[in-house]
Amino acid sequence: MKIASWNVNSIKVRLPHVLDWLQAQQPDVLCLQELKCETSAFPWEAVERAGYHACVSGQKAYNGVALISKYPGLDPVVGLSDFVDSQQRAIAATFGAVRVLSVYCPNGESLTSDKYTYKLRWFEALWQELQRIQKDSQRIVVAGDFNIAPEDRDVYDPQAWRGEVLCSEPERATFRRLLDLGFKDSFRLFEQAPQRYSWWHYRANAFKRNMGLRIDHLLLSSALAPACRTSEIDIQPRALERPSDHAPVWLDLVGLENPGLDSVPGPASSPNS
DNA sequence: ATGTCTCCTAAGAGGAGA
């Protein structure tokens, strides 16, 4: 089961890239962020023609998230429980045995901004939500633009970014608190080449110079982590004409190809688990 | 280095957000 996430920075502008990527990569579920369009303006027909279903929570001009998938998402939920928010930043649905969340976490702007306070409040609500849904499902994927680079190795110039928004210690502590619920950063389950990033500024040829940050993540609940065989960043679409500033990230889970399957293989050392 | 991109409003640039 292949699950991916991509901040597309306008689905209207990036639709050709998304359709090409779906065709080439064939993910079972693609989580989208920053649609920047109302739900009614989502390209439903094009996505359907590509063979995909969609759960969409759009908004005019800013934000907006979606789950597009080869089979319909069940029990869709928009937003975070007990957190009143006019900004459309979260949507969840169930695919086979897996609950998938597509999240567009707030950017924060700067440490002295009201948006930074909102960012930390939003993450507190996400933590509460994940703690809550862990009671209903042991198999959870949290996919999206977290707007947090978890460690210095996720930043091209850690000295320059020290303490800045996306890298500040309160934000990193917030990210670690999500992991403390039992979630794994799937990218770090595997040995990775150095300097792998998911976002590069549009300015100053940042992509060509690989001046990037790894801020897009695929978190796996502890029950799902043993099923993960691959977690990658596909930087190819970032090199296209009119790219999003983010690259798609994706992972592969084994033993979950059949959406109805309810067993997950354990580690190789415990064949009977 | 105020660099680039996308959206909005509103009638032509300018601001918000990232």
Q: In whole angstroms, what separates CA A93 from the centre of its chain?
A: 14
How does residue A267 score in pLDDT terms, banded at 50, 70 and 90? very low
Where are the alpha helices (H) located in A213-252, listed in sequence order?
none
How does residue A258 score in pLDDT terms, banded at 50, 70 and 90? low
Give the active site residue among A28, A52, A104, A116. Answer: A104
Q: What is the pLDDT of residues A41-61, one digit of tens each?
A: 999 999 999 999 999 999 999
Share of residues in chain A with pLDDT > 90 (%): 93
Give the active site residue among A145, A185, A216, A245. Answer: A145
- Count other C-beta atoms under 10 Å from residue A158's C-beta: 13
Helices and strands: H and E segment counts in chain A? 5, 14
- Report the pLDDT value the prediction gives residue A137, as an integer from 0 to 100: 93
* CA–CA distance, A264 with A198 (Å, rounded to integer): 29
Grouping H, G, I as helix, E, B as strand and the rest as coil, residue A232 is strand
Polymer length in residues for chain A = 273
Residue A128 to residues A23, A134, A135, A178, Cα–Cα distance (Å): 36, 10, 12, 10
* Å: A257 CA to B6 C1': 37
A20 annotated active-site: no
DSSP state of A85: -
Amino acid letter, residue A53: H
Asked whether residue A135, judged by its CB, lies under 7 Å from any atom of the DNA or RNA strand B, the reply is: no
* CA–CA distance, A109 with A113 (Å, rounded to integer): 6
- Report the pLDDT value the prediction gives residue A256, as an integer from 0 to 100: 79
Strand B near-CB residues (< 7 Å), A 152-181: none
- Report the pLDDT value the prediction gives residue A133, as an integer from 0 to 100: 98
A104 annotated active-site: yes
| Tokens representing residue A109 in the block | 């702007």
* CA–CA distance, A91 with A88 (Å, rounded to integer): 8
Which residues touch A47 (CB under 8 Å, ≥6 apart)? A53, A54, A68
* Å: A153 CA to B1 C1': 26
The mean pLDDT value for A189-204 works out to: 97
Q: Return the axis-axis angle of helices A114-133 and A169-180, rounded to nearest 10°.
A: 10
pTM for the complete prediction?
0.94
Answer whether A15's CB lies under 8 Å from A242's CB.
Answer: no
Strand partners, A33: A7, A65
Q: Which of A2, A23, A3 is nearest to A237 (CA)?
A: A23
Q: What is the pLDDT of residues A141-179, one digit of tens each?
A: 999 999 999 999 999 999 999 999 999 999 999 999 999
Answer whether A256's CB lies under 8 Å from A98's CB.
Answer: yes
